[in-house]
């Protein structure tokens, strides 16, 4: 019987072409699922005959209730080296080894700037008008040079974003709960004395924090009200850091100039979700990590993880 491996959420259908899934001396059957499973019953039925599952990021939870329904499952590989939606204790209890892969911070840095620049220069609106016979120039772009970029978080993604801002000639400040003056000096930016001051003084605010109990709902109605009416908010981190209802209200009422969002409270975003039609919103379907080099790393190391497990020496074990 072959060792069967399921790859979830392979929306572009590239998992089997971007990596070598061969396993010398083993019969390996890799099946790619290009549609998302929206409920646990469907997922449990689809995965019942698989020994291994490869899952992208934290899109699909693996709680005890699901793991208990997959008696054949022996290996779960998640892209990245941190995953908050896998029940590691339940995996252990069910004899499932959980492994990860490396992940590059470069793609989300680049997408952050794609969103920020797209917002600042009205690229979607202007491109659409040009292609569809609309007005020749209808927006007045927002300048970056000399403006204030405020970063919530200055880690492996926030710091490169800051350096790009400096290259554009922006004034860059940063804040997070544990951020120190030493760290901001190292990166070459200003330490904002408080979250509130950073929000009130910035022309562009970009979020680069991990989701935790401390950061969940960090930007609610009161915080969003501090933003200038000419300010733009970019979130390529996690949707739950921003109160989604408060953000929608701010966009609809024109209390901020716009927002660039790559992450949502439900993914994939349902057809009728209000984020699909919100004004002043430049939205992308969680593309932050989606690049060829990153996918080659994810799927290449996932395939390596399968071979290592079959050889009795699992690599990059999590939990």
The residues annotated with a catalytic role in the active site are 238, 267, 286
**C-alpha span between 23 and 37 (Å, rounded):** 28
**C-alpha span between 166 and 118 (Å, rounded):** 18
First to last CA, the chain: 29
CB 170, CB 163: distance < 8 Å: no
In this structure, the number of other CB atoms found within 10 A of the CB of residue 273 comes to 15
**C-alpha span between 145 and 284 (Å, rounded):** 25
Residue 10 is encoded by which pair of tokens? 């392979």
Residue located via tokens 């291994």 = 52
In Å, what is the CA distance from 130 to each residue of 11, 124, 127, 138?
A: 30, 10, 5, 10
Written as one string, the DSSP assignment of 224-252 is HTTS-TT-EEEE-S-GGGB-HHHHHHHHH
């Amino acid at each position: 019987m072959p060792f069967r491996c399921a790859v979830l959420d392979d929306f572009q259908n590239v998992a089997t072409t971007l990596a070598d899934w061969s396993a010398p001396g083993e019969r390996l059957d890799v099946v790619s699922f290009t549609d998302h499973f929206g409920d646990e019953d469907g997922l449990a039925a689809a995965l019942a005959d698989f020994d291994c599952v490869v899952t992208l990021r934290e899109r699909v939870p693996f709680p005890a209730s699901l793991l208990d329904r997959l008696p054949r499952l022996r290996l779960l590989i998640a892209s990245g080296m941190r995953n908050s939606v896998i029940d590691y204790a339940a995996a252990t209890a069910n004899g499932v080894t959980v492994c990860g892969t490396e992940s590059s911070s470069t793609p989300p840095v680049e997408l952050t700037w794609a969103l920020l620049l797209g917002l600042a220069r009205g690229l979607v609106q202007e491109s659409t008008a040009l292609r569809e016979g609309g007005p020749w120039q209808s927006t007045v772009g927002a300048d970056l040079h000399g403006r204030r970029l405020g970063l919530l978080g200055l880690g492996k993604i926030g710091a490169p974003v800051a350096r790009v801002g400096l290259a554009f000639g922006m004034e860059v400040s940063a804040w997070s709960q544990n951020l120190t003056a030493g760290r901001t000096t190292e990166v070459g930016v200003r330490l904002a004395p408080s979250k509130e001051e950073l929000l009130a003084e910035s022309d562009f605010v970009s979020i680069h924090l991990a989701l935790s109990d401390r950061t969940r709902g960090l930007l609610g109605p009161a915080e969003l009200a501090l933003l200038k009416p000419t300010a733009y908010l970019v979130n390529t981190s996690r949707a739950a850091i921003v109160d989604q209802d408060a953000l929608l209200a701010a966009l609809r009422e024109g209390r901020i100039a716009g927002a660039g969002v790559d992450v949502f409270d439900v993914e994939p975003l349902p057809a009728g979700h209000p984020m699909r039609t919100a004004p002043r919103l430049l939205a992308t379907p969680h593309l932050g990590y989606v690049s060829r080099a990153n996918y080659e790393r994810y799927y290449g190391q996932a395939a390596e993880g399968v071979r290592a497990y079959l050889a009795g020496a699992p690599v990059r074990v999590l939990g």
